[in-house]
Amino acid sequence: MKIQIKTIMFTMCLLVWTIGSLPTIAQTTDPSAKLIKVAIYDHSTKGASSGRKNLEAFLTPENGFITTHVTPESIRAGALDQQDVLIMPGGSGSKQALALGSDGKQMIKNFVAQGKGYVGICAGSYLATNHYSWSLGLINAKVVDTKHWARGTGQVTLDFTDNGKSILQYNQPTSKVYYGQGPLLAPGDSTDAPKFQTLATYATEIAKNGAPSGVMVGTTAIARTYYQQGRVMCFSPHPEKPGGVNDLISKAVYWAATSNGQ
């Protein structure tokens, strides 16, 4: 009987030691694997652009994101392969397109088509449309009043649609946000690009530098669509500015990271 008890106790001790020696999930799992991987475009040669700095300030691991700086050269070399979402920030849409070249632009389109996300802010939204010969055509949108694209900058008010409040998890019907001459979006005429859903419109306007009044109000300020298996969201204004409604961008990136058109 004593021999049986000793045998049982030895077996239990061995089992406890074996279980204790196994690696835990925390030890074997890379914490960064749970973070949304966000590529932020910046072709500046004079240090990080303000747009990139602003985004990196809140798209942090503590908030659920890990960011990577990508350039036209790195995109063409396959830098997007391990990313979930690409953000094209402000600047100049045409200069972004020129720097990317046809190969870089096609790689971005392939990235989104295969189930990844794209978030455009101001210039990045100009680039996403199908309005210009250099545009990506990710969204069937035309730009209203291109003659007065440099209509001025300043604070404007957005009106959110019910879908906008739901998708962006924003509980207020309106918000003030900085406008920096982003595109005034309207439905395009192409059959090759997907239609978009308006999430917010401009409730107030900026009409400087000869721009006519009454044009900006009611145009789309935030839009979303699906491009094949991927997701696209475009912001005409700049919620990413310091002191702005940064969470709109965070929620947009989170939404864009969930692919397959759901």
| Domain range 31-256, CATH class | alpha beta
pLDDT (average), residues 78-92: 97
Concatenate the DSSP letters of all residues of the chain into one string. Answer: -HHHHHHHHHHHHHHHHHHHHSPPHHHHS-GGGGSEEEEEE---SSS--HHHHHHHHHS-GGGTEEEEEE-HHHHHTTGGGG-SEEEE-SS-HHHHHHHHHHHHHHHHHHHHHTT-EEEEETHHHHHHSSSSTT---SS-EEETTGGG----EEEEEEEEPHHHHHHTT---SEEEEEEES---EEE---SSS---EEEEEESS----TTPPTTSSTTSEEEEEEEETTEEEEEESSBTTSTTS-HHHHHHHHHHHTS-TT-
pLDDT (average), residues 177-201: 95
The pTM assigned to this predicted structure is 0.87
Domain ranges of the chain: 31-256
Per the listing, tokens 């932020």 go with 40
Cβ neighbours for 121, distance < 8 A, ≥ 6 positions apart = 51, 87, 88, 89, 90, 182, 235, 238, 240, 249
Cβ neighbours for 99, distance < 8 A, ≥ 6 positions apart = 43, 72
pLDDT at position 127 is 98
pLDDT at position 29 is 52
Averaged confidence pLDDT in the chain: 90
Question: pLDDT per residue over 104-114, tens digit each?
Answer: 999 999 999 99
Least confident of 25-39, 44-58, 65-79: 25-39
Question: pLDDT per residue over 215-260, tens digit each?
Answer: 999 999 999 999 999 999 999 999 999 999 999 999 999 999 986 4
Q: How far is CA 117 from the centre of its chain?
A: 7
pLDDT (average), residues 66-76: 98
Provide the percentage of residues in the chain whose pLDDT is more than 90. 81
pLDDT at position 45 is 84
Q: Cβ–Cβ contacts within 10 Å for residue 257, how many?
A: 19
